[in-house]
Amino acid sequence: MSLKRWSAALAAMCAIALPQSRAAGADPVPAPGPAAVPAALTPEQAAAHVLNRLAYGPRPGDIERVMQMGVQHYIDTQLNPSTIALPEALTQRLATLDAAQQPAGTVLAAFLAVRGAARQGSEQDRTRRREVLQAMTQQTAEARIARAIDSPRQLEEVLVDFWYNHFNVFSGKGLDRALVASYERDAIRPYVMGNFRELLGATAHHPAMLYYLDNWLSTADGYTPRGKRQAAGPKGKSSGLNENYARELMELHTLGADGGYTQKDVTELARMLTGWTYNPRDLVQHNRGFAFDPRRHDQQDKRWLGREIKAGGQDEGEFALDVLAMLPATAHRLSFQLAQYFVQDQPPAALVERMARSYLDSKGELRAVLRTLFSSPEFMRPAALGAKFKTPYQYLISTARAAGTGPADTRQMMGALTRMGMPLYGCQTPDGYQNTQDAWLNPDALSRRISYAAALSPTLDAQALRRTLGASISPKTSDAIDASPPPLRATMLLGSPDFMQR
């Protein structure tokens, strides 16, 4: 859909969503359209640009602050988030969210307790189970959403979203409902600007990933626990070689589907990773997550990616992670995905190659790759030349930031995300949510965004909102909004093509 047709559809949907704001029989609201592409970004446009790409859009006064400090200084500061203090109100809010702060074992113990009681208990036990699970889900989501909206460490929050999606774990699968908070906090957040091998290792060892992709059940063929003639894994689950994690480790987490490996390589890697597991009891009692069980490991030699792998226990899997992290195919795939996320759906090949070279030269240091990306002319190119369409998550977070109306209603936002097809931690497949226009731009999705904006708009000052968004809104869009009835203007701003892009 072209921007012109999209704008026309937006105008029609605005009229449908807020019929009480228009006189009967009035003409449709004029459609906003894109501004002419400037030859270079003005200081205000540059500030708005980086806030829409490195951050989840501007909050009131942000564009002026970035202009004052300078775009490059803002980027440098965002690349070093530990130098940015968190607001006291945010720190206090996060401290109240037990499910997001407590060790994984503590949260899992609470989950297992109510689940066990509900299976054979009374209706009261089942009600208690629902309450505990709802609180767990709510607090985990609130920690993410509150940080995304209120943390001044915006690039860190954007990258948490990016890397969680890259190493996706679905919270709706069994025990992972209790583990995703720890997974994001302990295996994703500390590494988003660090070394990729460390990030890869942290996700590989975390119980949430071991459980989600079933590696905790994977054993050498013929494994018989405690000498018995049977094949039963933890909790009676069938044992044997499971290739799920090995396949996604190469296809999604590192090399990519076209990375040059074969089905035989998947099987051999799965054999190398047998015995990589965790014990729920140890996690609950001692907060001990990853465990290597040599009894479950395939003790035979392997041949993987053209390499002879001598039997070496856990070290075989660690060696595989070392190799995968530094292969050129991994460098290229990660660089492509980052450029696609921050620049455009089909990123320039030259930019991807420069980023991949930075990755290999720095031995996988993600901050070095990001510096190459953010210092590139492709990144600072005007959005009209390659705008990114916001995902539902990006749209809702940027709306809350632009509104600047105080602590967000997390429950309301979670419901909106579900209606828009992007429930938080709710992607069932390991490839995560897409971040391209084709995935999210359709009439139904636009209608849901307009409805959300219309419901929010009565609480907003359209003039203050426009000041906050500044150069994010083109003169042509501003003229169209000025020509619309005042009650429609905030909706028009939040539903404009300018705001839905970044």
| Residue 4: count of CB within 10 angstroms of its CB | 12
Residue 469 near residue 499 (C-beta atoms within 8 A)? yes
Integer CA distances (angstroms), 136 to 62, 106, 143, 287, 366, in order = 33, 12, 11, 18, 32
Is 42 part of a structural domain of the chain?
yes
Same domain? For 336 and 404 the reply is no
In this structure, the answer to whether residues 411 and 344 fall within a common structural domain is no
Q: Which helix (DSSP H) or strand (DSSP E) does residue 277 occupy?
A: strand 276-278
Instruction: Identify residue 161 by its one-letter amino acid code.
Output: D
Residue 193 lies in a domain: no
Measured between alpha carbons, how far is 380 from 153 in angstroms, rounded to an integer? 20
- Judged by DSSP in three states, 502 sits in coil
Tell whether 377 and 448 lie within a shared domain.
no
Domain C-terminal end among 346, 362, 385: 385
Q: Write out the E strands in 373-447.
A: none
Contacts of 455 (CB under 8 A, 6+ apart): none
Q: Does the residue 25 lie in any domain?
A: yes
Whether residue 131 lies inside any domain: the answer is: no
What is the model's pLDDT at position 241? Answer: 97
pTM: 0.91
- Per residue, the 3-state secondary structure of 294-328, as one string, reads HHHCCCCCEEECCEEECCCCHHHHHHHHHHHHCCH
State how far the Cα of 42 lies from the Cα of 340, in Å rounded to an integer: 24
What does the pLDDT read at residue 32?
34
Is 273 within a domain? no
Tokens 């990144």 belong to 379
Whether residue 378 is found in the same domain as residue 410: no
* 338, 370, 385 - which closes a domain: 385
Check if the beta carbon of residue 414 is closer than 8 Å to that of residue 424: yes
- The answer on 451 and 362 residing in a single domain is no
Residue range(s) defining the domain that contains residue 494: 3-78+389-500
The whole-angstrom separation of Cα 336 and Cα 345 is 10
Does a structural domain hold residue 428?
Answer: yes
For residues 396 and 495, membership in a common domain is answered with: yes
Q: Which of 385, 410, 425 is the last residue of a domain?
A: 385
Q: Give the DSSP letter of residue 429.
A: S
Residue 377 shares a structural domain with residue 464 = no
Token pair 């004052």 in the structure block, residue: 68
**How long a stretch of residues is the chain?**
502
Please check whether residue 112 lies inside any domain of the structure: no
Query: 489 and 399: one domain?
Result: yes
460 three-class SS: coil
Q: What's the pLDDT score for residue 2?
A: 42
Residuewise pLDDT in 10s, the chain (502 residues): 344 444 454 545 444 433 333 333 333 333 333 333 345 899 999 999 999 999 999 999 999 999 999 999 999 999 999 999 999 999 999 999 999 999 999 999 999 999 887 777 788 888 888 999 999 999 999 999 999 999 999 999 999 999 999 999 999 999 999 999 999 999 999 999 999 999 999 999 999 999 999 999 999 988 877 655 433 445 545 579 999 999 999 999 999 999 999 999 999 999 999 999 999 999 999 999 999 999 999 999 999 999 999 999 999 999 999 999 999 999 999 999 999 999 999 999 999 999 999 999 999 999 999 999 999 999 998 765 668 999 999 999 999 999 998 778 999 999 999 999 999 999 999 999 999 999 999 999 999 999 999 999 999 999 999 999 999 999 999 999 999 999 999 999 999 999 999 9
Written as one letter, the residue type at 110 is A
The count of domains in the chain is 2
Tell me what pLDDT residue 16 has.
Answer: 40
Examine the domain organization and report whether 427 and 496 are in the same domain.
Answer: yes
289 falls within a domain: no
Residues 441 and 364 in one domain: no
Phi/psi-derived region of residue 76, left when phi > 0, alpha when psi is between -120 and 50, beta in every other case: alpha
400 plus 416 within the same structural domain: yes
One-letter amino acid identity for 97?
L
- 10 and 73 in a single domain? The answer is yes
- Paired tokens of 398: 């940027």
